[in-house]
Amino acid sequence: MNDSPGWAVPGPSPSDGDRPGAPDGQDGTEGARPPAQQPPAGGPKWSAEQPPPGEWSSPGTPQAPQPPQPPHQQPQPGAGWGSYAGPQGGQGRHGTYGPAGGPGQWGKPPAAKPGVIPLRPLDLGEILDGAVATMRSHWRSVLPITLVVATVVQVITVLVQKYTLADLPVTNDAQPSLRELVDTLGGSMLALVANGFIQLIGTIVATAMLTMIFSRAVLGHGSSIGTAWREARPQLLRLLGLTLLLGLGGALLVGVLIAPGIAMGSVGVGLLGGFVALPLLLWLGIKFSLASPALMLEKSSVPTSLRRSSRLVQGSWWRIFGITALTGLITAFVSAIIVWPLTAVGLAIGLADGGVAGLEDGTAATGWAALILSAVGAVIAQTITMPIQSGVTVLLYVDQRIRREALDLELARAAGLENYGPDPAAPPTGG
C-alpha cells in the first residue's frame, strides 16, 4: 500500500500497521494498531476509541459483530462530488478515498454537471445528448423560435415557387425566344435571391438566440425568448457580416479556381479547379465553424471570431469534422423521413387533379397541394433539426475551450459551484 501523507488506508494490510518491530504509533502510519498475533498483556494498550468496522480489532476482547464494509468498492457511475473526500482524505459514500489528485488515486472523480453537460471534455454522445436535452428541457424557449422562423421562411418560399418558378417555360411544344427566357430567368433569380436573403436573416436570428439559450443551459439556467433576444441583439449585425463574409469568401475561392478553365475555354481545366475547390471549402468551413459561437458568446468582432475559431479547431480538425458530418447526416435523415412522405402525398393529389400531364408541364409540383404539404413537412423538420445543429456547434465550442483553456473552472464559478478546481478546499456539489 502507498503510505504517502494524507492517504487513508481503505482496509487492513500487512504493510500498513503490521510491520514487524515497529512500535505502536511510530511506523509512520497514523493510528497504527498492534498486530493481530500479539495478545493483550495487562489490558488493552490502545485507546478506548474503537476502530471503524471492517478494520483491526482486539483478538481477546469480544465485540458485537459488525457488518463488513467492502474496502475497494468503486464509485457508482453518476455519483456526485460528495462521494469523494477532500484534501485531508476521509470516508465517502462508496468507501474510503484519498484526496483528489493524490498519488495512487483510484480513478477520476465524476465531473460536476450543473446543466446539460458535465464540466469536462466531452465525447460524441455527450455532445449530441446535450443538444437534445436542451431542446427537451427548454422547449418553451427553443421550439417557438425555430417554429416561427421556419414558418416565415416556408411561407415566403411557397409564394416564390408558386408565382415565380411556375412561370418558367418548361413546355416541350413551344420554344421560348431568348428575350423571353432572359426575362423569365431574371425575374426568377431576383425572387430566389430575395427568398435566400429572407432565409439567411431568419437563420441568423434563430442561431443567435439559440446560442444564448444553449450557453445558459450549460450552466443549468433557463432562458426566456425575451432574454435570449436581448442578449443576442447587439451581435446580430456582426453575425450577419460574418455569415456574408464566409459566403462571399467561398464563392470567391471557387471563382478563382475555375477562372483559368473559363479563360482557356477548357472544360477539363474548369472541372479540375472545381474539384480542388471542394476540399478547400470543406477545410475552411470546419476551420471557421466555431466562429459563430465565439462571436456571440465572447462579444467579439468578426476578425477576432475567425481567429478564435482557427485556434480552437487547430489540432482537432478531424474530430470536429466527424461530429459535424454525423450531425448533418442525422438531421438530413430526420428531415427526409418527415418531408418526403408529405411531398409524395402532395404530388399524388396534384396527379389526381391534373393527370400525367401535370408531370410534363410542371403543374403537379407547383400546385397548391404539393407546395403546402411540402412546406408543412419542412417547417416540422426545421423546427426539430435547427436546434440540434445549433446546439452541437455551441457545445463543440464549449468542449474545445474546456480542453484548451480550462473553461470548466469558469463555468463552475458561473454556475455557483464553490471551491471547484484541481485542489478544492471542500468538494463542490453539482446541481
Among residues 209, 103, 88, the alpha carbon closest in space to that of 146 is found at: 209
Which residue's C-alpha cell is 471492517?
54
**C-alpha–C-alpha distance, residues 153 and 130, integer Å:** 27
Domain count, the chain: 1
CA distances from 386 to 259, 335, 342 (A): 35, 10, 19
Look at residue 26 in the predicted model and tell me its pLDDT. Answer: 44
156 pLDDT exceeds 60?
yes
Our measurement of the distance from residue 278's CA atom to the centroid of its chain's CA atoms, rounded to an integer in Å, reads 26
**C-alpha–C-alpha distance, residues 394 and 337, integer Å:** 26
Instruction: State the pTM of this model.
Output: 0.69
**C-alpha–C-alpha distance, residues 241 and 200, integer Å:** 11
96 phi, psi to nearest 5 deg = -95, 130
pLDDT tens, residue by residue, 388-431: 999 999 999 999 999 999 999 999 988 888 777 654 444 444 43
Among residues 46, 100, 110, the alpha carbon closest in space to that of 80 is found at: 110
306 pLDDT exceeds 70?
yes
Report the percent of the chain where pLDDT is more than 70: 62
92 phi, psi to nearest 5 deg = -105, -175
Query: What are the strands, taking DSSP E only, across 63-154?
Result: 90-92, 95-97
Look over the chain and give the mean of its residue pLDDT values, rounded to a whole number.
74
Q: Quick one: pLDDT band at residue 158, thresholds 50, 70, 90?
A: confident
246 pLDDT exceeds 60?
yes
Specify if 254 maps to a domain: yes
24 pLDDT exceeds 70?
no
123 pLDDT exceeds 90?
yes
| Cell numbers representing residue 244 in the block | 456574408
Residues ≥6 apart with Cβ < 8 Å to 22: 32
**C-alpha–C-alpha distance, residues 196 and 67, integer Å:** 72
Q: Quick one: pLDDT band at residue 360, thresholds 50, 70, 90?
A: low
Specify if 420 maps to a domain: no
Among residues 323, 314, 344, the alpha carbon closest in space to that of 389 is found at: 323
Specify if 116 maps to a domain: no
Specify if 24 maps to a domain: no
Residues ≥6 apart with Cβ < 8 Å to 286: 313, 317, 320, 321, 324
58 pLDDT exceeds 70?
no
Cβ atoms 6, 102 nearer than 8 A: yes
Specify if 100 maps to a domain: no
Among residues 118, 144, 327, the alpha carbon closest in space to that of 223 is found at: 144
Average pLDDT for 121-129: 94
| Cell numbers representing residue 301 in the block | 468582432
Specify if 393 maps to a domain: yes
pLDDT tens, residue by residue, 249-281: 999 999 999 998 888 888 888 889 989 999 999
Average pLDDT for 294-313: 96
Residues ≥6 apart with Cβ < 8 Å to 410: none
Look at residue 310 in the predicted model and tell me its pLDDT. Answer: 96
Residues ≥6 apart with Cβ < 8 Å to 128: 327, 330, 388, 392
Look at residue 179 in the predicted model and tell me its pLDDT. Answer: 64
| Cell numbers representing residue 19 in the block | 510491520
Domain that holds residue 249: 124-398
**C-alpha–C-alpha distance, residues 412 and 120, integer Å:** 10
Look at residue 74 in the predicted model and tell me its pLDDT. Answer: 41
Among residues 119, 215, 94, the alpha carbon closest in space to that of 421 is found at: 119
DSSP string, 346-410: HHHHHHHHH-THHHHHSTTTSSHHHHHHHHHHHHHHHHHHHHHHHHHHHHHHHHHHHHHH-HHHH
Where residue 417 falls (left for φ over 0; alpha for ψ -120 to 50; beta otherwise) is beta
Highest mean pLDDT among 179-193, 296-310, 411-425: 296-310
Average pLDDT for 48-75: 46
Specify if 343 maps to a domain: yes
Specify if 334 maps to a domain: yes
